[in-house]
Chain A
Amino acid sequence: MGITTIIFMLLSLMAVGSAIMMLVTRNPVKSILWLIVVFFAISGHYIMLNAQFLAVVNIIVYAGAIMVLFLFVVMLMNLNADSEPTRNVRLQAVGILSGGSLLLIILSALMKDGGNNVVQMRIGDEGLISNLGKVLFTNYVLPFEIASVLFLSAMVGAVVIGKK
């Protein structure tokens, strides 16, 4: 077990642990803070794959911008642990069932692959920004542009709703 495996284990433990904490915490603000920890752990995984750009963009966009807005809304709505409605037991059971079956499907899909797509740790420079940019603007230029148009339309929509 090298240092890479140890760090991987720690990061995974951190990601799964804080994801569970996010779900079980009753206070919405604390939930969001746990989610931020999850994003950090995932960024750590990206760095281990030498995808530095992806890691830092994950931090800037998700942990930095989107979560701030989440926090903003939750703070403004004054949600507290006391005002959280107690969830229906039957609803909880259905949730566990559907979530569990999704996990099963993902697991079986990964098992069937037989480990051909094993990721390579710390080597390879596909994740570095110049290579990523080249691939995005040559091989995947159409999906990239479609995604940009989608973003633009979402932005226009948000402005229209905000103006109402």
Chain B
Amino acid sequence: MFLAIDLAFIIEKLVLIIIVVMGSLLIAMYATYAERKVAAVLQDRSGPNRAGPFGLLQPVADGMKLFFKEEIIPAFSSRFLFILGPGLAMITAIMTSAVIPWGNTVEFFGRTISLQIADVNIGILYIFGVVSMGVYGIMIGAWASNNKYALIGGLRAASQIISYELAMGISLIALLFLTGTLSLKEMVVQQQEGLWNVVKQPLGFFIFLICAFAECNRTPFDLPEAESELIGGYHTEYSSMKLGFYLFAEYINMFISSAVMATLFFGGYDVPFLDESTLAPNIAALIGIAALMFKIVCFIFLFMWVRWTVPRFRYDQLMHLGWRILIPLALFNMLLTGAVVLYFNK
């Protein structure tokens, strides 16, 4: 057999990938609109309301504007790396969506299709791997800009993400003690049958949430692009759609990390007090997707709420919080969880 490939399988996965990527892009697009609207509500303004009804076409107009803007690549910078930077940021942001279970199985044309692109048995580690790649997009772009402010922003991003990845990983280990699996799908199934993980791991969730803010470069941790000291941070030299990619990648990251948090701690596509097995599979899947989307929207709102409420940290405060508070707290949580698991599993 030469190149034995199941064609239907490839098509099924391809369609799923296209839907998930397009969905992520669409949601990220409207997240920019939501961000401005939420900011407006919190600051007692009206926000964008000119393009279309309620300003709903605003993201389209913004995108068009970015496409038509003049593109400037600074002299003496590495042209290839300068273009690679935003591309990498975008790719890594989208790649994370591959292991998230967006819903249970649906049935089409007699085939049972899982609404998860890849159920690998290292699911959560895959997300960590891709997230740790995400920093390269920022660092490479910052270095290739050949600009001091951009470089400082890039270095800040790198050290911040490495510092908070540690606490995030340790808080996750405590969760893995309880679930005993790294597969996101199995975690959701466990939460459907029992309690949501946030009940068992409130401290772990809290640490994970803070680290997610830091990993997404969101306020109060948006030091890499602190405009009051670094002009534009790592994307100072960027213009046109390359700048758009950086800004857009942040919103996709926010969407994906909301999805991860909903899946890990809030039962994923599980609807509480509803027995999915009594419904037709397609309807149950639809309800599941809607439930997951609702949870994601709540998280995205939280991200925005915090951004427009809490001021930015100072850099030493950021490092202090990461290394002196969050990591010991996460270690303590891990020790406690380990002890409890050991005590009850005797």
- State whether A36 touches B126 (Cβ < 8 A): no
Number of A-B residue pairs at CB separation under 8 A: 73
Contacts of A75 in B (CB 8 A): 139, 143, 151, 154-155
- Give the B-binding residues of A (Cβ under 8 A): 1-3, 27, 29-30, 33, 36, 52-53, 56-57, 59-60, 63-65, 68-69, 71-72, 75-76, 128-129
Q: What would 17 more interface pairs be, CB under 8 Å, given A64-B133, A71-B143?
A: A3-B3, A27-B78, A29-B78, A29-B81, A30-B81, A33-B81, A33-B140, A53-B122, A56-B126, A56-B128, A56-B129, A59-B129, A60-B129, A68-B135, A68-B139, A68-B161, A75-B139
A69 to B182, CA, bound (A): 27
Contacts of B161 in A (CB 8 A): 68
A52 to B151, CA, bound (A): 35
Report, as a range, how many residues of chain B touch the other chain: 20 to 34
- State whether B162 touches A65 (Cβ < 8 A): yes
- State whether A59 touches B154 (Cβ < 8 A): no
Instruction: Return A52 CB to nearest CB of chain B, in Å.
Output: 5
Judged by a CB distance under 8 angstroms, whether B159 is at the interface is yes
Secondary structure call for the A interface: helix
Q: Interface 1/0s, chain B 130-141, versus A by CB < 8 A?
A: 001101100110
Given contacts A29-B143, A59-B132, A75-B154, contact A129 B121 (CB under 8 A): yes
- State whether A76 touches B162 (Cβ < 8 A): no
- Which A residue sits closest to B169, measured CB to CB? A60
- Which A residue sits closest to B125, measured CB to CB? A56
- State whether A65 touches B158 (Cβ < 8 A): no
- State whether A68 touches B136 (Cβ < 8 A): yes
Q: Interface 1/0s, chain B 169-205, versus A by CB < 8 A?
A: 0000000000000100000000000000000000000
Judged by a CB distance under 8 angstroms, whether B344 is at the interface is no
